Structure 1
Amino acid sequence: MMKITLIILAVVISGSCIAQNTESAVYIGTYTKKEGHVNGKAKGIFLASQDPENGGVQPEKTVAEITNPSFVKVSKDGENLYAVSELGGGDAKSGFIYSYKRNSDNSLDELGKLSTESFAPCHIEIDKSRKYVFVSNYMGGVVMVYKRGEDGNLQKQQKVQLENPNTSHAHSVSITSDNQTAYISDLGNDKIWIFDFNAEIGNLSLKENPFLQLEKGAGPRHFSFSKNEKFAFSMNELNSTISVLEIDKNGNLEIIQNISTLPEDFKGKNSGADIHLHPSGKFIYASNRGHNSIAAFKVDEKEGKLNAIAHYTTKGETPRNFAISPDGKFLYAANQDTSTISSFKVNQDTGELEEHLLPVEVMSPVCVEFAEN
């Protein structure tokens, strides 16, 4: 009996070790052709794998050949992947969003594509019910809402037109955990629009106080909530700042801090890009294109304000989006113009980053997305 018990225990331990070393799928959005801001060299959506133990990333292969899949998003249930095709007026009648089924080997089967009804789609969000998908178009101030079918394919639900379409640049949609409020970052109008979201019918409607006006020339781009959602953080592209925002019970926003993402002695050109809260809620990170760095900050969880920790070179040019591994142990930055993914180990106590392994080659990477399962 003792011998059988020991054998069973050994099998359990062995199986546990195998589970702990299971690699994670990482999908990488890319640019595939020359544009005004990039010389895209990729072929489409790229697949890599991550070892959760040592943080190593292994590039694998292109899993979908489409034009400029600059932003990709995996559904929380892991069943689907959505990708924009960032096209301009000279490429097609509009940009597109593609829907894919994820297979057990992490390959993708295309389910369909739909027009985004404007140009340069640049961001995808999925609501908390997993029933609706939102796409922000950089050109024209258009945000699209799509209904997600049982197989993951999409159909048009609503078209939202922001004011001043000639200058508006809708860059992202962010939805509260209660699924009732949506914030749209409008880079061109220096506004964060505030919408009620009705998940029963998939409809956005402007709140009574419809927007927060940021400083002229700020250029709000991406938006991240604090862990308790009492605060939010706007990554401002044009003036390389983070605006810390307090959220009241009605969803209204108030600026309580503006802090630079750059060192005080930096004099070159820069544009802010991405922002992500660490899973612990204690730290937040932002990417700088020009300074080519990740800026790290400590979050005062009671007051919301940020204190700079340090800046870390990405060992490459134009770090666009980046991702923190779901376990919070590693950070990966996509160096768009040097075609590399850089990795960092995150100090869980201090938020500091440590250079970790050598950058790996991936052509024209833009967006790094971990699959949920």
Structure 2
Amino acid sequence: MKTMIVGTYTKKEGHVDGQADGIIALKVDPQTGKIPSQHTVAQVVNPSFVKVSKNGKFLFAVSELGSGDAPSGYFYSFEILKNDSLKKISRLSTEGFAPAHIALDQTGKYAFVSNYMGGVVMVYAINENGSLKKQQRVDLEDPEKSHAHSVTISPDNSQAYIADLGNDKIWIYNFDAEKGILSPHDQVFEALESGSGPRHFTIAGNGKTAYSVNELNSTVSVFEILENGGLKVQQYISTLPEVFSGKNSTADIHLHPSGDFLYVSNRGHNSITAFKVDKNGMLSVLGHFSTQGETPRNFVLSPSGDWLYVANQDSNSIVLFKVDEATGNLDQKAPPYEVKTPVCLEFQ
């Protein structure tokens, strides 16, 4: 059996009726993809994003809190015990509100937390015992408008790309992996179409192409990664069928392990859009697959690439798809599995 960790909402917020008790561990059958059991492993308020350490020994989680809840959001580290239970090691301030994302550098020695409110990105050093130390605070321009939604580290560990939903920019930073410090890249940023709202960002395995899922206009941007680590937009493509006219906001984006397919979640259309990736990294739509639930937030591909799991935030369910590795199409293989307010999925 494999273990999947689920980040959740635990309390009522303006955009969600949180009903979970904290961080949840699911058992997953890697052969059938099915989920035979679940249990709460840590009681954290709004652990809306979770990340397993590179060595598999620790779990990191944000506590997504607003100004009416606490002095700041929080960033946790836990030791993962043999029975999948968690032992708290550290809890540090994120120095902003509504932390929304965690990234790790390629060595696993540093973590990056994006605060949706306040334009603050924090860098933390991860000690050998899993404890955390504040390494650097990065303040983005126009903090009242800025919504830092994610950090993505390049495969060679030399650049960090910060998706700023509020400013419609991908900020580009050099990363010094010896010191754990970010410094502005010569290009500084790549601007997207006004009203795009870049949310999550992913990089192809060859390090030459990158993709941004844009929450506000339901598009994916395709970028050429320049030799110096800069970016240049090559394509915008919609995540929605032409006949759809309702409200929608995109959420998550992942490349298949093969690199041949790209997937995006649509909240409103309530679907996963599958794209074919051609040899130069450009995209074409393969299809739109209903998630059989409301507000699909984050999703995850199994390490083998055989299965895709989607967290339906507002219908308290996780849905399982079989991935056709020849065509990229998705086939729902089981009824939705009940989990309270799931929003982030991570294999341990």
| Fold match (TM-score > 0.5) | yes
Does residue 216 in structure 1 map to residue 194 in structure 2?
A: yes
1:215-234 aligned within 5 A: 215-234=193-212
Residue of structure 1 in register with 2:18 after alignment: 40
3-state DSSP of counterpart to 1:337: helix
1:342-353 aligned within 5 A: 342-353=319-330
Q: Deviations over 1:324-356 (max 9, x none)?
A: 000000000000000000000000100000011
Q: Deviation of residue 112 (structure 1)?
A: 1.5
Q: Deviation of residue 58 (structure 1)?
A: 2.7
Does residue 313 in structure 1 map to residue 290 in structure 2?
A: yes
Does residue 89 in structure 1 map to residue 71 in structure 2?
A: no
1:346 alignment partner AA: V
1:183-332 aligned within 5 A: 183-300=161-278, 302-332=279-309
1:91-170 aligned within 5 A: 91-170=69-148
Q: Deviation of residue 57 (structure 1)?
A: 1.6
- Provide the rounded CA distance (Å) in 1 between the counterparts of 2:331 and 2:124: 40
Q: Is the 8 A contact 2:155 2:205 kept in 1?
A: no
Residue of structure 2 in register with 1:20 after alignment: none
Larger gyration radius, structure 1 or structure 2:
1
Unaligned runs of 5+ in 1: 1-22
Q: Deviation of residue 227 (structure 1)?
A: 2.2
3-state DSSP of counterpart to 1:57: coil
Residue of structure 2 in register with 1:359 after alignment: 336
- Provide the rounded CA distance (Å) in 1 between the counterparts of 2:4 and 2:226: 36
Indicate the RMSD between aligned Cα atoms, in angstroms.
0.6
User: TM-score when scaled to structure 2?
Assistant: 0.99
Identical counterparts, % of pairs: 59
Q: Deviations over 1:160-196 (max 9, x none)?
A: 0000000000000000111100100000000000000
1:170-189 aligned within 5 A: 170-189=148-167
User: TM-score when scaled to structure 1?
Assistant: 0.93
3-state DSSP of counterpart to 2:47: coil
3-state DSSP of counterpart to 1:82: strand
- Provide the rounded CA distance (Å) in 1 between the counterparts of 2:183 and 2:27: 40
- Provide the rounded CA distance (Å) in 2 between the counterparts of 1:327 and 1:257: 29
3-state DSSP of counterpart to 1:255: strand
Higher percent of residues as helix = 1
Deviation beyond 6 Å, 4+ runs, structure 1:
none
Q: Deviation of residue 61 (structure 1)?
A: 0.6
- Provide the rounded CA distance (Å) in 1 between the counterparts of 2:267 and 2:207: 28
Residue of structure 2 in register with 1:80 after alignment: 58
1:340 alignment partner AA: S
